[in-house]
Structures are given as structure tokens and as C-alpha cells.
Amino acid sequence: MRRSIRTMLGLAAATTVLAVGVPALATSANAATTTKAAATFDFDDQWGYEYSKYFHGSRAKARGDVWEDDDSRIHVSGKLYDKNSPNYLCGYVQVKFENSDGDESTYWAKKCGSSGYRSFHFFEDDVDTAQVRVCYFDNYQNKKVYCGRWDYVYESDDQE
């Protein structure tokens, strides 16, 4: 999806959230804070669900948002879920940022246990692409296993 379309969709979603959330605010001071926060976190796109490879019928999954802040940093945030996994496997999400020189930075979050989710949020400067993939982490072998594919959640305008 072209970035301009993603931006319009993201703005439409943010406007909808604000329109639904503003009537519930108690004071005008809170309304100003909410508007400023929405401007600061201008969501460009939502991504997911991304899935790990299956393991006995259960899969870890993640979904989230990607946006650029006022300082041109790219943010990838989301929620990681792990459902019905054996106790030695944990849901595991990786976020990889890459710049035009090919330099990569990879971050991860892990969620063990089948109830609820784990939130994550990573950001980097000087980013041309951001990718996400979901795996399991095998606590017995101390390594990631059953990884899904890397999917692009952000590409700069220069990459299209």
C-alpha cells in the first residue's frame, strides 16, 4: 500500500478514535491533551495479525501500529499474544529496522503463558524499512523456533 494511502487511512482512524473519545472527557484541559497526543502520535498504518508457524494447532500472534513522530523517528508498537502453548514455549516477536546503508537494528519481546498479551514499543532514527515476524521462544533450548515470515510494516517513500 502506498504510504500516502496508509497515511490517509491512519488519519481517518485517528480522527474516528478522537471523535469517539472526546465526548467522554471531563474538562477542556483533557481535550487539549488528547488532541496534542494524537498529533504527536500520527499513526501511519496498522499491521497484523502476524503469526508464528503452527505448533500443535496453537500459534503466537502479534498486531500493532507504525508511525513517524515529529523527530522523524519510526515507531513500531503492538501486542503479542500466545495461546495454548506448552509451558516451555513462549510467544516471541521481532522488529527489525534497516537504513539505506543496510545497517540493521533488531528488537524483541517475549510473552509466556496463555492469558492476556504483552505490549511492546520500539523506535529508531534514520529508518528506511521496518519488518516484523513472530516466532516461539523455546525455553529448554534457549532459542527462537517456529518463526513466521518477515513482513514489511513500514517503507520510506524512497523505497517505493
pLDDT at 8: 44
Q: Which residues contact residue 55 at a Cβ distance below 8 angstroms, ignoring those fewer than 6 apart?
A: 85, 86, 89, 136, 146
If you search the block for the grid coordinates 472527557, which residue do you land on?
Answer: 25
Q: Which residues contact residue 107 at a Cβ distance below 8 angstroms, ignoring those fewer than 6 apart?
A: 94, 95, 96, 120, 122
Q: Distance between CA 90 and CA 111 in Å, rounded?
A: 5
Q: Distance between CA 87 and CA 103 in Å, rounded?
A: 35
Q: Which helix (H) or strand (E) holds 12?
A: helix 3-21
pLDDT at 11: 41
The domain 45-159 having CATH identifier 2.60.40.10: the answer here is yes
Q: Which helix (H) or strand (E) holds 154?
A: strand 151-155
Q: Distance between CA 14 and CA 106 in Å, rounded?
A: 28
Region at 119 (left for phi over 0; alpha for psi -120 to 50; beta for the rest): beta
Q: Distance between CA 29 and CA 33 in Å, rounded?
A: 6
Q: Distance between CA 82 and CA 66 in Å, rounded?
A: 21
Counting as low any pLDDT under 50, the low residues of the chain are: 1-42
Q: Using the 8-state DSSP alphabet, how is residue 158 labeled?
A: G
**Phi (first) and psi of residue 112, to 5 degrees:** -110, 140
What pTM does this model have? 0.70
pLDDT at 136: 93
In the three-class reduction of DSSP (H, G, I as helix; E, B as strand; rest coil), residue 40 is classed as helix
pLDDT at 12: 45
pLDDT at 130: 97
pLDDT at 141: 95
Q: Are the beta carbons of 41 and 10 closer than 8 angstroms?
A: no
